[in-house]
Every structure is written in structure tokens, then in C-alpha cells.
Amino acid sequence: MALEVRALEAADAMRAGNVLRRAYRQIYPDGNTYIDEVADVERRLSLALVLGCFLDGRLGGCATLVLDERSTFAEELLHGEAGLRMLGVDPDLQHHGIGWLLVGACARRARSADRHALVLHTDTKMVAAQHLYERAGFVRTPERDLTLPEVTLLCYRLDLDGRS
């Protein structure tokens, strides 16, 4: 079983969108507009870095890394922080370490880009994701939670340099 993480390209966008759509349907019902946003990988490729994890050549999951706090996808990042967004793993390939590898790859790339922290927001319903983030060293940061009309998003933060 070979696992590889790499930046996705335009040719990967539709396949990645399908993987994310399947992953997010486990949490959200059909017709939820956020699923359409998550699945629009082609748009995100021009605004952020989208990483994919391949299991024996099959795309098993992806995550968006936001390195610019001014990005459309920044979700209230502070100066010097990177954001981890829209992580999803194909339901048929869960429990193979794909999410773990994507989180680690995002942290390494953020550190290489001189970011001092990696920040994410996750739906209260995404309990498995919350366990993954905590296992990876992220710490709940409730003062940065986001309360939207339809959902509360929990904030997690990973210190990348030991200074913050």
C-alpha cells in the first residue's frame, strides 16, 4: 500500500471534487450548498494550495492550505498563520491514514512558508475530524470559534514554532 501526498493540478479538480462531495455527504444532507463549495476544487486551485493524498494511485482525500490571511478562504486568519480548510477523505478509504498524512503535509508546508501556526475551523458534527486534529497536536481555541446562522464552527490551532 503506497501513500503519496502532492499538490493537485487542474486535471485533478473534478476527481477531487467528487471525493470531497462523498466525504461531506456523511455529515451534510444532499442539497446542502456548502457541499457544492467544498467540491469546487477548480476554483480553490487558483486561490490556495490543494493537496491530495493518493493510495496506490487512487485519490483518497484532499485538503486546502491557505497561506495568505487575505485570501477568500482565510476564515479569520491572523498575520503569520496558515489555514487548513475542507479536509475530506473518501468514505471507502477512511482509516488508512490519509487524513493524518494530509494534516501533516499541511503543517510541514505551513512551517516551510514561515507560518507560526496552522488554524482550522470544524463543524461540531465532525467528531472524527476533531479527534484527528487533537491527536495531531491541535489545541481547541474557543475564543476563535465562529457562530454562523446555520452552524457553529470550532476553532483548533497548531503551534508550528513554539513561540506562540
Helices (H) and strands (E) in the chain, counts: 5, 8
All structural domains of the chain: 3-159 (3.40.630.30)
pLDDT given for residue 32 in this prediction: 79
**Residue partners of 29: CB distance under 8 A and separation at least 6:** none
Grid cell of 97 as nine digits: 491514514
d(CA 121, CA 144): 9
| 66-89 pLDDT, tens digit each | 999 989 888 899 999 999 999 999
- Residues of the chain whose pLDDT is less than 70? 163-164
Task: Assign 3-class secondary structure to 98-142.
Answer: HHHHHHHHHHHHHHHCCCCEEEEEEECCCHHHHHHHHHCCCEECH
Contact between 117 and 82 under an 8 Å Cβ cutoff? The reply is yes
- Residues 6+ away with beta carbon under 8 Å from 106: 51, 63, 65, 82, 84, 118
Which distant-in-sequence residues (6+ apart) come within 8 Å of 2 by Cβ? 55, 56, 57
Taking the C-alpha atoms of residue 82 and residue 3, their distance in angstroms, rounded to an integer, is 24
Query: Could you give the CA distance from residue 65 to residue 73 in angstroms, rounded to a whole number?
Result: 9
Say what the pTM is. 0.94
Cell of 69: 490571511
Q: What is the pLDDT of residue 163?
A: 55
Residue with cell 473518501: 90
The whole-number pLDDT of residue 99 equals 97
